[in-house]
């Protein structure tokens, strides 16, 4: 297994961050990494997600929601082909910190036989996509 993790501190409440994160219809307005998302944020539901790494091509995936804990955590599991080929378990976590802010963490666990062959790209371009989304989320939430 390989993992990518990025975090950012947002001066806001968990509720405000969650509200923006779950407002899928507005993603094209602000999100440079997850440029489109549709579906229901409920465990077991399938989503339709368009991802775009900085400078990369758009990629469509259809992950299954694995967690949706209001104001805390949202996760999905996406697969390329069959289980074990290339699996990505993506997590968004909202953690209150003592000064009235939250730490927003985005990470993904990658598993499968293809992961070692694409890890260099994931570690650079996908990590940059996570960071770009984190920054855009911070700006959007703090501008409210």
| d(C-alpha 123, C-alpha 144), whole Å | 32
**Sheet containing 2-10: which strands, arranged edge to edge?**
2-10, 102-111, 86-96, 73-80, 64-69
- Pairwise pLDDT comparison (131 vs 80), residue with the higher score: 131
What is the pLDDT averaged over residues 4-12?
97
Q: Going by DSSP bridges, is the β-strand pair 73-80/102-111 parallel, antiparallel, or unpaired?
A: unpaired
- 73: domain CATH number is 3.30.530.20
Domain carrying residue 63: 2-142
- What pLDDT, in 10s, does the model give residues 83-121? 888 999 999 999 999 788 999 999 999 999 989 888 888
Q: Can you give the pLDDT at residue 56? A: 84
pLDDT of 11 > 90? The answer is yes
Is 59 in contact with 51 (CB distance < 8 Å)? yes
Q: Is 92 exposed, middle or buried (0-12, 13-18, 19+ CB in 10 A)?
A: buried
- Pairwise pLDDT comparison (49 vs 144), residue with the higher score: 49
Domain count, the chain: 1
pLDDT of 81 > 90? The answer is no
């Amino acid at each position: 297994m390989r993992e990518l993790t990025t975090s950012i501190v947002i001066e806001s409440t968990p509720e405000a961050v969650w509200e923006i994160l779950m407002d899928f219809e507005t993603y094209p307005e602000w999100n440079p990494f997850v440029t489109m998302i549709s579906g229901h944020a409920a465990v077991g539901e399938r989503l339709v997600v368009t991802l775009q790494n900085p400078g990369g091509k758009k990629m469509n995936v259809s992950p299954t929601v694995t967690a949706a804990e209001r104001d805390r955590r949202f996760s999905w599991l996406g697969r390329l082909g069959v289980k074990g080929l290339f699996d990505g378990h993506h997590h968004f976590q909202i953690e209150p910190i003592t000064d009235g802010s939250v730490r927003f963490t985005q990470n993904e666990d990658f598993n499968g036989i293809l992961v070692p062959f694409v890890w260099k790209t994931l570690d650079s371009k996908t990590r940059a996509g996570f960071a770009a989304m984190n920054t855009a989320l911070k700006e959007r939430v703090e501008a409210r």
